[in-house]
């Protein structure tokens, strides 16, 4: 896991300051009775993912994402890295 996350200051490489970068991809699929129901389920899952990410709950790599019922609905990919500020 990349350690410089959650508000850490950019690292320095020689004289060059490095930026902390985060790539976060969420993919999910829902099947249900109507559009409004599916939208609510999607929003609930995305809120749960956001809450977990805010607490540092994801390591680098892929993690399954489950709905409130515990059913697998997708996955999240998280990658912390460093790079040029430019």
Question: pLDDT for 32-81, tens place per residue?
Answer: 999 999 999 999 999 999 999 999 999 999 999 999 899 999 999 999 99
Residues sharing a CB contact under 8 Å with residue 73, sequence separation 6 or more, in sequence order: 28, 29, 30, 41, 45, 65, 66, 67
Decide if 4 is inside a domain.
Answer: no
Decide if 13 is inside a domain.
Answer: no
pLDDT value, residue 10: 53
Judging by beta carbons within 10 Å of its beta carbon (0-12, 13-18, 19+), is residue 45 exposed, middle or buried? buried
| Statement: the pTM of the whole predicted model exceeds 0.75 | no
Q: What is the distance between the alpha carbons of residues 17 and 38, in angstroms, rounded to a whole number?
A: 44
Distances (CA, A) of 45 to 14, 41, 58: 42, 6, 15
Question: Range of 32's domain?
Answer: 24-79
Q: How many domains does the chain have?
A: 1
pLDDT value, residue 12: 59
């Amino acid at each position: 896991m990349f350690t410089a996350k959650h508000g850490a200051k950019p690292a320095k490489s020689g004289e060059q300051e490095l930026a902390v970068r985060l790539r976060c991809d969420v993919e999910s699929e829902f099947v249900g009775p109507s559009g409004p129901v599916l939208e609510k389920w999607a929003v609930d899952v995305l809120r749960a993912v956001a809450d977990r990410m805010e607490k540092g709950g994801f390591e680098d790599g892929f993690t399954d994402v489950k709905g409130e019922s515990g059913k697998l609905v997708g996955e999240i990919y998280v990658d912390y890295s460093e790079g040029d500020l430019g």
